A and B are shown apart, each in its own frame.
Chain A
Amino acid sequence: MIGARVRIALKRSVVDPQGAAVATALRALGHGEVRSVRVGRVVELVVDAEDETSARAAVDAMCQALLVNTVVETWEVDIVDAGQVGGLSVGEAACV
């Protein structure tokens, strides 16, 4: 199993009101040094793959098929240790 972390961001040419709102909130908290904020999305996956190359190819295909709206978003894939991105699944008891 191979882990993948997909970092999805709005294209630079697209206005990000969410980021602007967060920037305003940060400044309200006293962080006047904030010049700009853009909010993206991270999707972590664990995939069955032979090697890093095939994992990357599979995840790129998933990005184009569903995870990313290529009209307005860009993405980057980091291949990581599967243990770094796994988590509890829906239905699994959170016994902390």
Chain B
Amino acid sequence: MRVAVVVFPGSNCDRDAGHGIDDVLGTGTAEFVWHGESDLRGADAVVLPGGFSYGDYLRCGALARVSPIMSAVRQAAHAGVPVLGICNGFQVLCEAGLLPGALLRNDHGQFRCDVVPLRVCTTRTPWTSGLQLGQSVRLPIAHGEGRYHADPHTLQRLLAEDRIVLVYEGENPNGSVAHIAGICSEDRNVVGMMPHPERAVHAWLGGTDGRAVLASILRSTLADDRRSAPVILEEAAHVPAHV
């Protein structure tokens, strides 16, 4: 399996995402794709990493979404390829119209760097299928503009269609509507979330709850995987304490 990690100028979690994917899904799984390229080279899944693409010029994610590679990402998304936008990647997906709503400055005006508890609200996405419904996970966040906003009509639709993926369980760190931390597209294959699963893949990183998020895509891309999927899922579920 190959997971494309798109690198925009100003991305700063691309290496973390690459390491996380390789550590959970096997060395060589992640493949970096520069934003100026026009082809995802047949990747089985796509990750838009965190950071400050284009220095957050104009608005977070606004310029990244017109990068050449985004045509290919849009095409892949429409073809059903799992796409995950993390933090700035979530902002890019919203700006690109691949996810509804927008991400605004945190309501308290501060950048928030923390590890927060989240509740899994749906497992019907390729990035949460390996989690349990209602499960509580702890994932790192680090953002100044993570306040998810959607008009009441859109919010109603997200609720009705089971498209709210993650919500903040404790204090809402940014003032997002309905405590939303992550949502998915109508077709469910495109997921955006403010938390960083790639930063929670080893005990020495402070947690391992991100492993199940990244490992989830195995369930949706099993047919393409040359390794034994049950083995990888087993590995992902049982992380030795010393790893």
Residue of A nearest to B150 (CB): A71
Q: With a CB–CB cut-off of 8 A, which chain A residues contact B95?
A: 69
Residues of chain B in range 85-138 having any CB-CB distance to chain A below 8 Å: 94-95, 100-102, 104-109
Count chain B residues whose beta carbon lies closer than 8 angstroms to a beta carbon of A.
19
A21 touches B109 (CB 8 A): yes
Number of A-B residue pairs at CB separation under 8 A: 33
Residue from B107, B149, B151 with most neighbouring chain A CB atoms (10 Å): B149
Residue of B nearest to A68 (CB): B59
Given contacts A14-B149, A17-B108, A72-B149, contact A67 B58 (CB under 8 A): yes
Q: How large is the interface on A (under 10, 10 to 19, 20 to 34, 35 or more residues)?
A: 10 to 19
In the assembly, what is the distance between CA of A72 and CA of B147, in Å?
Answer: 12
In the assembly, what is the distance between CA of A18 and CA of B110, in Å?
Answer: 10
In the assembly, what is the distance between CA of A67 and CA of B59, in Å?
Answer: 9
B72 close to chain A: CB less than 8 A: no
Residue from A18, A20, A21, A69 with most neighbouring chain B CB atoms (10 Å): A69
Q: With a CB–CB cut-off of 8 A, which chain A residues contact B101?
A: 71
A3-23 toward B: CB 8 Å interface, digit per residue (1/0)?
000000000001111101100
CB distance from B61 to the nearest CB of A (A): 9
A66 close to chain B: CB less than 8 A: yes
In the assembly, what is the distance between CA of A11 and CA of B162, in Å?
Answer: 27
Specify which of A18, A66, A69 is in contact with B105 (CB 8 Å cutoff). A18
A interface residue numbers (CB < 8 A to B)? 14-18, 20-21, 66-67, 69, 71-72
The 3 tightest CB contacts between A and B, nearest first, are A17-B109, A71-B102, A72-B102
